[in-house]
Homo-oligomer: A and B are copies of this chain.
């Protein structure tokens, strides 16, 4: 069996395991106050071009989302997300469990625009409704699309005018920033959003997301929130060290480029074979549409997610990662061609 189910089917990039081995017996402070976390934050601040950023390390995306959003909002304030947004659909109501409503806007491409946000604002006029306060976006989105620099600038400006926080879920930020459609630099982000995270779990780390707080108003007491939500890892070093390794050179982006390259190969060969897609993804997720019969046959040798019905057919999701071998893609295409 070969898995295209997600980008966390393997362990970590070998260099990360080597770094763990090498540092294993060094005694360090607990709870993210170790020299690896401090070093990774120093390095990331350099790469992000801003010495004032506060950076925290969390174990996963849902945790990062819920700790951040619940720390940022007062009880009556709500987040706005695309209807495909991870926090709205796939986090078991984690945001609501901290007391906050998630308002949504329909979005075909998984992205939000100022016009969509304005509609939500217009509908929320008084104290009988929640007060929209934070805009949640994902880059890449849940359907594999990416934000262009001008799109993000427009959102950023709009949010500042409307006194809304702009928060970017970067679980797949590596893939986004290495996407063929991307014109954003990592260092653009602190200028445009109030907070975001750099996903490690889905880009070669064993686990870990680096949450970057840009807006001064969001920084005070953040470690209290992490601890309260069970998100302050005793051996925080385990995450800090991985980001240190990923950003020591270009490793983080090299891994994303490989994942995207494998996805493009899949996409392009599928397109050539006449396959249609659910969404125009330019990142490491591909959403081809097949008849149910073909899907059943593909299941014999491949793991993947069933994404949903499209008329009488079925869209599936194929995800590539830093660990996807070119042979896996070739094998998938060869098997598919026999079936088509």
Mark A residues whose CB is within 8 Å of B: 1-3, 5-6, 8-12, 14, 17, 20-21, 23-31, 58-67, 70-71, 74-76, 78, 89-94, 96-102, 127-131, 201-202, 206-207, 221, 223-235, 237-238, 303, 323
B93 touches A235 (CB 8 A): no
- Known: A92-B228, A207-B235; 9 extra A-B contacts, CB below 8 A, are A60-B234, A65-B230, A66-B230, A71-B74, A89-B129, A94-B228, A97-B99, A128-B227, A130-B224
A226 to B66 Cα, complex, angstroms: 13
A30-B11 contact given A90-B129, A230-B63, CB 8 Å threshold: no
Please give the distance in Å from A79's CB to the nearest CB on chain B.
11
Chain B residues with Cβ below 8 Å from A11 are 20, 23-26, 235, 237-238
Q: How many copies does the complex hold?
A: 4
Closest to A1 in B: B27
A221-B96 contact given A8-B30, A11-B23, CB 8 Å threshold: no
Q: Which of B8, B9, B27 contacts A2 (CB 8 A)?
A: B27
A26 touches B8 (CB 8 A): no
Chain B residues with Cβ below 8 Å from A63 are 230-231
Chain B residues with Cβ below 8 Å from A98 are 75, 99
Q: Which of B3, B14, B226, B229 contacts A229 (CB 8 A)?
A: B229
A-B contact pairs, 8 of them (CB 8 A): A58-B230, A74-B74, A91-B227, A93-B101, A96-B99, A96-B101, A98-B99, A207-B238
Chain B residues with Cβ below 8 Å from A102 are 101
A21 to B11 Cα, complex, angstroms: 8
Closest to A235 in B: B8
A27-B14 contact given A67-B230, A75-B97, CB 8 Å threshold: no
Q: Which of B96, B131, B223 contacts A224 (CB 8 A)?
A: B131
Chain B residues with Cβ below 8 Å from A76 are 92-93, 221, 224-225, 228
A15 to B148 Cα, complex, angstroms: 46
Closest to A12 in B: B24
Chain B residues with Cβ below 8 Å from A12 are 20, 24
Chain B residues with Cβ below 8 Å from A65 are 230
Chain B residues with Cβ below 8 Å from A17 are 17, 20-21, 24
A98 to B10 Cα, complex, angstroms: 33
A128 to B100 Cα, complex, angstroms: 18
Please give the distance in Å from A77's CB to the nearest CB on chain B.
8
A227-B94 contact given A17-B21, A233-B59, CB 8 Å threshold: yes
Q: Which of B6, B14, B27, B131 contacts A24 (CB 8 A)?
A: B14
Chain B residues with Cβ below 8 Å from A94 are 227-230
